[in-house]
Amino acid sequence: MSTTGLLSRSALLLGLISALALPWLLQALGAPFYISLAGRILVYAIAATSLNLVLGYGGMVSFGHAAFVGLGAYVTGVMISEGLLNGAAHLAATLAVTGLVALAIGAISLRTRGVYFIMITLAFAQMLFYLANSIKGYGGDEGLNIKQRSAIGFGLDLKDATTFYYLALAVLGASLVALARFVPSRLGRAVIAIRDDDQRAEALGFPALRLRLVVFVAAGMLGGVAGALAVNQQGYVSPNLLHWTQSGTLMVMVILGGVATLWGGVIGAAALLLLQEGLAAATQHWEFWTGWVLLAVVLFARNGLTGLALQAWSRMR
Amino acid sequence: MLSVLLIEQVLNGLQFGLMLFLLAAGLTLVFGVMDMINLAHGSLYMVGAFLAAWLVALTGSFVLGVLGAIGLTALFGMLLEVTLLRTLYARDHLSQVLATFALILILNDGVKMVFGTDLALSAPEALAGPVELMPGLSYPAYRLLILGVGFVLAALMYALVAKTRLGALVRAGASNRVMTEAMGVPVRQLFTVVFGIGAGLCAVAGALLGPLLAVQVGMGENILILAFVVIVIGGIGSIRGALIGAILVGCIDTLGRTLLQHLFREFLPPQWASAAGPAIASIAVYMFMAVVLAVKPQGLFPART
Amino acid sequence: MNTAPSPPSALLDVQRLSKRFGGVVATDRVDLQVRAGEVHALIGPNGAGKTSLVSQLAGQLAPDGGRIVFAGEDITRLSAHQRARRGLTRSFQITRLFKSFTVLEHLALALQAATGSSLRFWRPVGAELELFDHARALLPALGLDDLAGAATDQLSHGQRRALEVGMAVATRPRLVLLDEPMAGLGPDESLRMEQMIERLREQTTLLLIEHDVDAVFRLADRVSVLVSGQIIATGTPDVVRRDAQVIGAYLGQE
């Protein structure tokens, strides 16, 4: 195996071990309250990775992706508040609802291109946002407090930050494995070709609309799963989860981490959330400084943080 | 009674639409001519509103305050263009999204640091009362001012783009930038001017709507979305499209909110009506956009093919 | 409704095809037959509507009227990818390659599109050894032998053109629409392209749209002349080059 191969394998192993040991480490350092931050980062990492699938690899700039995350949160949150606590049922319902909604939105939106696609996905997301805002029965614009959690069996309680952390880690791990298998597969190759030049890909015989729709729906469903986890982590669901600025935040994470890279969503989510946490602790004006850091990244790190890391790596060799 | 309400709401819709046009005009020019997605356009609207509120309080004069705000915001816009935004023209849309999103964060907090989270701005004393347009129909004088200013600016913008040399250059730049540059037109300066005009228009809208909608941090985000919807409906790069799109959106939004509520109250139980009205009204604008795009995928009056 | 049956050996039968853009008639009731196994050339002055016609035949553009029958099947309403899977492919006048893929992967993509489903998302395509062996075997004929792993921006214009055509013919289609394959090529590269086309005639049927009239008259079995959206002559190269109308409308200007 080449040096790069060996090093990346070791890095991966090291990363995995650190991730698994993190809660224990934080406990040992006397900072257990950071475990829930880690959990939050994992949830955003899953959401950002799902966006990277549709935006980075699929080339579909969906400005309404937060709607799927919010939808998953609402489906799970509403089920819990109605007394249905079975985690498997939550997962099934989340996948079904987000899948169907993504299918409907995608079937219509994917007939447009460029900025019109961006706007139409945004429009649909805003519609869902206003819908969530108006359901008075489940909190309306004030949101809904969710007092219980999804029951995942084995006597595990998701209210415990460490338990939630490991569940989220498992889901993220599974998502990354699936993404890693997807990219070099037939579907992955076809979708990337369609992203590069959809007319040329069609001329070769690839059904562009159908394949894009498959990816759009898959990404929507994964986003929904992130939402289901989010409501379990925060114990709260509100229409703000669906607002276009949340879609913007997810997009920022993907761009920050590295568009169309396996770890882009994870790195971007971790970087942005840690940056925000760090700045918020230091100053009241953390939003101000976050903006400057992001600006610096756009201007000087064209391929996001992953790109920056790869550049640094190739310069060291 | 209903017809008076209807006329009132149409006037409100027209007024909101004209203000939306001021934002949309700048946005469509920047997108159409420079092919740049500028999410911070709404922030310029906010900056204009805050500057107006501050200057009005400082000078004691509404007119001076608003005019000062327009000038300062236009200058600020041009400064922004020359220092930062210019470097984004060559970048892809995603990078532009990230950069202008960052700009929103900086400007939101920046304004908060300088002015606080909100400022008071009220309509001038002379225009505080209503005007009787017809027997039985009273309309606030201030809103009539907005209508007037809106119409005048719309006419001016239209004349500028359609009749002047500057406008011709802008239109040429919108349809073919490379060609325009090859013909020796100082495209860089042109862009700066276009951006400055756009920023100035944002300030007009921000200052005039301030008394009605409250001057506060974050006021830009909501109206930005509507502005984007307007330019997509109208056709990117088209001032005419921005005007017609803005008036349509303004009316649908305003009429939707009030009339639908009225209608629903006739037929639905009260708690439904008060919830459904605003929800459907908000959705109505987006549904309208979806329908327009289904029939005319490039908007109503696309400037580029 | 025109239901005239296709002549027995017509692989592609175009019947009264029409298309207008606003006030401009791009395709004016075009009748065209391409026989199986032949090289049929389509020539005409600039603006005659050649590319519009090709786009309608390939499925990128929907005609306003008329029928397109391919191997006995009416394909007028079929999309481009459906036609490709039925063995009707095209190459583009302006080279369109996929910037994320290497030369070899381009050919693999073409082969992938024609075989099996692209919904498989777990197994890497690289594991389909047969597919990649087949792709590799296509490289020499395109003059791209040692460029298998090259990225698209490392290729010369001629090599890019070869790959563009290569993708269209990789799957042994029944009919290939070659849209000005020699566009922008220098004399050496043009010769290589001509030789490639000459080799192709044994494997498949070609509808060749070209500007280079000399090359066309060398390669083609039959020629059709398109002027202002109408076919004004069809026949063997000798017949066509002597046709008075053709000389008046097109060749006389050469």
Chain B residues in contact with A248 by the CB 8 A cut-off are: 39, 97, 101
Q: Which of A61, A115, A299 has its CB closest to that of B236? A: A115
pLDDT of amino acid C254: 47
Shortest Cα distance, chain A CAs vs residue B87, angstroms: 8
The predicted structure's pLDDT at residue A156: 84
pLDDT digits over C24-44, tens only? Answer: 888 989 999 999 999 999 998
Q: Quote the percentage of chain A above a pLDDT of 70.
A: 99
Q: Say yes or no to pLDDT of B177 above 70.
A: no
The first and second tokens of residue C164, run together, are 């563009």
Alpha carbons C32 and A191: distance in angstroms, whole number = 35
Interface of A with B in 137-196 (CB under 8 A): 140
How close does chain A come to C32, measured CA to CA in Å?
22
The nearest alpha carbon in chain B to A296 belongs to B99
Cβ contacts of A122 on chain B, cutoff 8 Å = 225, 228
Contact C53, C177 (CB under 8 A): no
pLDDT at C14 over 60: yes
Task: Please check whether residue A190 touches C, CB under 8 A.
Answer: yes
With H, G, I as helix, E, B as strand and everything else as coil, classify residue C2.
Answer: coil
| Residue of B124, B148, B119 lying closest to B61 (CA atoms) | B124
Could you read off the pLDDT of C113-158 as tens digits, one per residue? 999 888 999 999 989 999 999 999 999 989 898 999 999 999 999 9
* pLDDT tier at C1, thresholds 50, 70, 90: very low
Q: Which of A148-162, A193-207, A232-246, B174-188 has the lowest mean pLDDT?
A: B174-188
The predicted complex's ipTM stands at: 0.90
Measured between alpha carbons, how far is A234 from A223 in angstroms, rounded to an integer? 16
To the nearest whole angstrom, how far is the Cα of B142 from the nearest Cα of chain A? 30
Q: Say whether B297 and A285 touch across the interface (CB within 8 A).
A: no
What are the tens digits of pLDDT across the range A79-110? 999 988 998 999 999 999 999 999 999 998 89
What residue segments make up the domains of chain B, in order of their start? Answer: 2-295
According to the model, what pLDDT value does residue B271 have? 67
Backbone angles phi, psi at A53, to 5 degrees: -60, -50
Select from C58, C85, C125 the Cβ nearest to the Cβ of A189.
Answer: C125
Q: How far is A57 from chain C (nearest CA, A)?
A: 11
Q: Are the beta carbons of B26 and B41 closer than 8 angstroms?
A: yes
CB contact under 8 A, C84 and A211: no
Q: With an 8 Å Cβ cutoff, are B290 and A120 in contact?
A: yes
Q: Tell me the two tokens of residue B132.
A: 């009787």
CA distance C83 to B13: 50
Q: C109 and A204: CB-CB below 8 Å?
A: yes
pLDDT of residue B20: 93
Inter-chain contact C60–A199, Cβ cutoff 8 Å? yes
Q: Which CATH class is domain B2-295?
A: mainly alpha
pTM of the model: 0.88
**If you measure CA to CA, which chain A residue comes closest to B275?**
A134
Per-residue pLDDT, B263 = 73
- A208 chain-C contacts, CB cut-off 8 A: 81
- Please give the single-letter amino acid code of residue A150: S
> Chain A neighbours among B 135-154 (CB < 8 Å)?
none
The phi, psi pair for A86, rounded to 5°, reads -65, 120
Give the percent of chain C with pLDDT over 70: 95
Length of chain C: 254
